Amino acid sequence: MFKLILKNAFRHRMRTLLTIVGLAISILAFGLLRTAVSAWYTGVEASSQTRLITRNAVSLVFALPLSYKEKILGIPGVTGISYAYWFGGTYIDMKNFFPQFAVEPESYLDLHPEYALTEKEKEDFLKQRNSCVVGAALVRKHGWKLGDTVRLTGTIFAGDWDLVIRGVYHGSGQFTDENQMLLHWQYVDETMQRVMPEMSGYVGWYMVRIAGPDDAARVSAAIDSRFENSLAETKTETERAFNMSFISMLSAIITALRLISVVIVAIMLLVLANTMTMTARERIPEYAVLKAVGFRAQRLSALIIGESVLIAIAGGLVGILSLFPTCAAFSQFVAKNLSGFFPVFRLAYSTIGMATAITIVVGIVAGLFPTFRVARMKTADGLRHIG
């Protein structure tokens, strides 16, 4: 049966090869789109189950008083706390955008063990107020090295800020963002005390560590109730929910990408179904002869669906193999031009599995259309058929 399926599949070589190429391109496009969608969810995948984010209940734009730190730390179930502020500086120009956070360095690194630094780098960073730590991806992109001075032009915190690189962190997990800069919150705050006192003594949000995921709801409610009816009410949520709130702002784009990927699957189905329908119509007299010599409908169905699946697998295999170099090349492009939006652009095993499953399903479904016709065909009618 397999030999017969193989010979039938490549009887019209040009038609089969064009179908395989069409399927391969479709799988390649599908894989790239799904990888782009997965890249949007990088921050969500990297979220810790034991970290909460406490921010201003009105909006993340509004700050919280530094005095909240000790009050939050005193709530039962809280095992650690740190804070950060979006710095929002510009390096050379807006084309070089990357996230910068003014943080309390010791507690921030303690709460984020996924940022791997050497002990010496950590010690140097803690000692020097005007120092910073940058991700390995930023170092590769801009050609920085330890000891270099990076000048940022403040947009929120006005002025030029010269920061000395004292550490380069590497992500301990595959979804850790290596495109960030961490600097001292106290250095920023002390400068604001001199030039803009009204901005001093505030943080953007708090990172709260809890003992376990089961405590998240209780501790979140306790924190928010603690500051209820205050001048700066809070909203506390899990780190995953916090990151998801940013993705929801781009929900229209993500939905569009998902719809396009569905359209691509439909195109694959139509391309292969058209090929199999043409093939079956040309071979109706042959199928009638096979019926006449004793082939049952199940055997004929296996021949047609087997041929369809074989062509689909061939196209899917070419497309999946093409995904690896294409995603690698696109990842380099993203690292140079879009790292602020796609911190991690990596082909996931789930995408490969999804593409493989879709290939097999499309092959089976595309073979069903001609199979029904051949199964219901009378032998005499098939022998009289002129293709």
CB 63, CB 204: distance < 8 Å: yes
- For the cut 80, the answer to whether the pLDDT of residue 252 exceeds it is no
Cα–Cα distances in angstroms (integers) from residue 78 to residues 229, 243, 336, in the given order: 22, 21, 40
Longest Cα–Cα distance in the chain = 98
Task: Output the pLDDT for position 181.
Answer: 94
pLDDT of residue 93: 82
Kind and range of the H or E element at 45?
A: helix 42-45
Tell whether the model's pLDDT for residue 100 goes beyond 90.
yes
Note the pTM of the prediction, 2 decimals. 0.69
Provide the 10 A C-beta neighbour count for residue 98: 19
Q: Give the model's pLDDT for residue 278.
A: 80
CA 166 to chain centre: 30
Give the pLDDT mean for 132-139.
Answer: 92
pLDDT tens track for 58-73: 988 899 999 999 999 9
Q: Over the stretch 263-301, which tens digit does the pLDDT of each residue have?
A: 888 888 888 888 888 887 777 777 778 778 777 778 888
Share of the chain above pLDDT 70, in %: 91
Mean pLDDT computed over 130-148: 91
Cβ-contact 144, 150 below 8 angstroms: yes
Whole-number Å distance between alpha carbons of 36 and 89: 27
Answer positive or negative: Cα dihedral of 235, 237, 241, 244: positive
How do residues 166-199 score in pLDDT, each as one tens digit? 999 998 777 788 889 999 999 999 998 888 888 8
Amino acid, single-letter form, for residue 105:
P
| CA nearest neighbour of 135 among 113, 154, 155, 117 | 117
For the chain, the average pLDDT equals: 86
152 pLDDT above the threshold of 70 = yes
Q: Is the pLDDT of residue 55 over 90?
A: yes
- Residue 184 pLDDT: 96
Instruction: Evaluate if residue 346 carries a pLDDT over 90.
Output: no
| Placement of tokens 């947009």 in the chain | 155
On the question of pLDDT at 340 being above 60, the answer is no
**pLDDT, greater one: 349 or 43:** 349
Could you report the per-residue pLDDT of 206-217, keeping only the tens digit for each?
A: 999 998 889 999
Average pLDDT over residues 239-250: 75
pLDDT, position 233: 93
What are the residues facing 40 on neighbouring strands?
A: none
With 0-12 CB in 10 A as exposed, 13-18 as middle and 19+ as buried, what is 207?
buried
For residue 309, pLDDT over 80 is answered with yes
pLDDT of residue 286: 74
pLDDT of residue 56: 93
Contact, 56 vs 62, CB < 8 A?
A: yes
Cα distance between residue 72 and residue 184, in whole Å: 21
Domain borders along the chain are 2-43+251-384, 58-232
